[in-house]
Structures are given as structure tokens and as C-alpha cells.
Amino acid sequence: MAIEGGCYCGALRYRIEGAMPKGGLCYCRACQHASGGGPNAFALVAAESFSWTKGTPARFTRPDLPTAVTRDFCPECGTQVTTLRPGQSKRIVKIGTLDQAQDWPGPGFAIFTAEKAPWHHLPPGLPAFEGLPPTR
């Protein structure tokens, strides 16, 4: 089974081998910028399962942050597609870029809820953490 996705304009395309892992909803301020205001729905995909199949992403890393993530986005339409966190081999894939939303089993937790807006509503029953979840 392979899952495919890409950016808004189609210049950037990717493929994920295997089933899509469960992930989370991130309410951090940076994700609000990236998503347009909502939480960012994401899943962590093993590096070896992910490949770009069309186009080359543009990349951005904030120079003013000591442990800034690197954001891969489409150089044509600007859609943010994946993120890489320093010291983490798994790739953070933005669920909104999947061709079929139903390929994702859904969020297992919410993170950075301390930064959510007053009008954000957490899905009932979803485990929520004010920052990153405790390491398991």
C-alpha cells in the first residue's frame, strides 16, 4: 500500500510506503501561521518510507531560533508539505497535503494547547498536552 500527496498546485508530489501512522494536532503559534489559523494536523513518517516523486521543495529554517525546524514547501504555490525537526529522523507530514484525507487514521493527541486561540476547540476525549507530549 502506498499513499500519495502533494502541494496545492501539483508541482511537488510525494509517496509514502506502507500505512499512514496516527499523528496529532499541533496548536503552536508557528503551525497557526502555516495552516492559516487552525491547528496543524500531522503524522511522523519514517524517513525511509517517504520519497519526493515530483519537484524539489524549497526549504526554510528560521535563523533566529537555536533549534528551528526546517520547513519544506512548494516553490510555486507556497504550500507547506513537510517539516524536519533537528535530531529527529522521522519526517513530519502535513495531513492536508494527502490526496485522500481518509488515508489518515486521525489524531491521537493534541500538542502545544497552551498556544491555542480562544476560539480553537479541542476534539472531545483527545489527550491534550500544553507543550510536547512526555517522551514515551
Residues that bind Zn ion (CB under 5 A): 7, 9, 11, 26, 28, 31, 74, 76-77
Nearer to Zn ion, 49 or 116 (CB): 116
**C-beta of 9 vs 47, nearer to Zn ion:** 9
Nearest residue (CB) to Zn ion, 49 versus 73: 73
Please report how close the Cβ of residue 132 comes to Zn ion at its closest, in angstroms: 10
DSSP 8-state assignment for residue 31: H
- 27 phi/psi in degrees, rounded to 5: -105, 15
Q: Minimum CB separation from Zn ion for residue 33, in Å?
A: 9
DSSP per position, 33-82: HHHTSSPEEEEEE-GGGEEEEES--EEEE-TTSTT--EEEE-TTT--EEE
Identity of residue 4: E
**Nearest approach, Cβ of residue 117 and Zn ion (Å):** 13
